[in-house]
């Protein structure tokens, strides 16, 4: 039961860490987005008999995992998810693991995956996991609030395009067409064409489909003035909320300006910037070239046609 003290040995083999292991730090004053995506989830969804085109249980499970992410990592200010994908936006000034790229990706992906497995039975009580779910991840930095909003709008537009197509596709398949025939029937169709197909052939108004399917899910900390029982409280508190709002238009952002904050988010003390001139050092992020590699410097003329 005693604690074991680990001492790093200064051996001749330590060069493998010193000379080959590098840590890429993400640039300062950038919003960090970690996007997690299911690996081979087409097979996974078939193996576990997910409903097509959308399985409400599977989507709510993803939302529950995203909620746990915001509970675990306070620097995540908002998350957006659709299907087997979720994007997590870290605040601009985050120092989460010193902005090390590998840490940001690996911690988010591993934690999300573990929570997915732990919460599986909450949403699929009669369906055992037949194989472990797993996800990949990527990290991208964006320089300002406008770009972050455009990123989230891009993912929501993608949600609409894919969901509208899948709604039509599976309606055709369930009506008796083969998957190849369904794909062929939808080839070259516009959004208006798909709405018309659903309404005329299947009496389905696409706009009446659940908002979670059409718009995806947004997870954020909402400012509420009631306790968990609905009783009014004097001070506003933050509660992690899952919603299905439109993120493309201005309404959501006008009503939730505190999520992304001001564009120039300098912390001020008595009217003076906290960071001062020392802050510029954060941009001086020089990467060493790896050992035991030939180094080639290629010089190319700039604007030599002039």
Known binding-site positions for Mg(2+): 37-38, 84
Whether the CA torsion 177, 180, 185, 186 is positive or negative: it is positive
Q: Which residues pair with 218 in a beta bridge?
A: 80, 243
Q: What length is written for the chain?
A: 306
Do 89 and 81 form a contact (C-beta atoms < 8 A)? no
Return the closest-CA partner of residue 164 out of 189, 195, 188. 195
Distance, CA of 289 to CA of 269 (rounded, Å): 40
The three-class DSSP label of residue 199 is: helix
Collect all residues with Cβ–Cβ distance below 8 Å to 233 and sequence separation of at least 6.
Answer: 225, 226, 227
Whole-angstrom Cα Rg for the chain:
24
Structure tokens at 237: 């508190």
Return the closest-CA partner of residue 115 out of 160, 161, 79. 79
Q: Which residues pair with 79 in a beta bridge?
A: 88, 219
Annotated binding site: 37-42, 83-84
Distance, CA of 46 to CA of 115 (rounded, Å): 21
Annotated binding site for GTP: 37-42, 83-84
What is the DSSP secondary structure assignment for residue 100, as one 8-state letter? Answer: B
Do 63 and 204 form a contact (C-beta atoms < 8 A)? no
Determine the straight-line distance between the first and last CA of the chain, rounded to whole angstroms. Answer: 75
Torsion, Cα of 18, 19, 21, 24 (10° steps): 100
């Amino acid at each position: 039961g005693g604690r074991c003290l680990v001492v790093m040995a200064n051996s001749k083999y330590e060069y493998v860490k010193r000379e080959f292991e590098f840590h890429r730090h993400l640039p300062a004053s950038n919003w960090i987005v970690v996007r997690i995506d299911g690996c081979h989830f087409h097979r996974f969804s078939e193996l576990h008999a997910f409903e097509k085109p959308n399985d409400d249980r599977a989507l709510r499970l993803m939302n529950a995992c995203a909620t746990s992410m915001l509970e675990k990592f306070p620097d995540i200010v908002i998350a957006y998810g659709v299907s087997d994908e979720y994007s997590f936006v870290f605040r601009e000034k985050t120092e989460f693991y010193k902005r090390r790229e590998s840490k940001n990706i690996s911690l988010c992906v591993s934690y999300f995956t573990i929570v997915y497995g732990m919460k599986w039975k909450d949403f699929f009580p009669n369906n055992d996991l037949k194989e472990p779910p797993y996800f990949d991840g990527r990290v991208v930095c964006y320089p300002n609030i406008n770009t972050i909003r455009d990123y989230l709008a891009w993912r929501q537009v993608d949600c609409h395009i894919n969901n509208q197509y899948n709604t039509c596709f599976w309606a055709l398949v369930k009506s008796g067409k083969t998957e190849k025939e369904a794909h062929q029937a939808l080839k070259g169709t516009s959004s208006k064409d798909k709405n018309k197909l659903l309404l005329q052939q299947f009496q389905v108004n696409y706009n009446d489909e659940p908002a979670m399917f059409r718009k995806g899910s947004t997870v954020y900390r909402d400012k509420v003035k009631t306790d968990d029982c609905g009783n009014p409280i004097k001070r506003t508190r933050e509660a992690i909320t899952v919603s299905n709002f439109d993120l493309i238009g201005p309404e959501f952002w006008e009503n939730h300006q505190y999520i992304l904050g001001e564009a120039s988010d300098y912390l001020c003390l008595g009217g003076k910037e906290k960071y001062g001139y020392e802050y510029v050092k954060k941009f001086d992020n020089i990467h060493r070239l790896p050992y035991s590699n030939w180094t080639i410097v290629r010089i190319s003329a700039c604007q030599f046609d002039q």
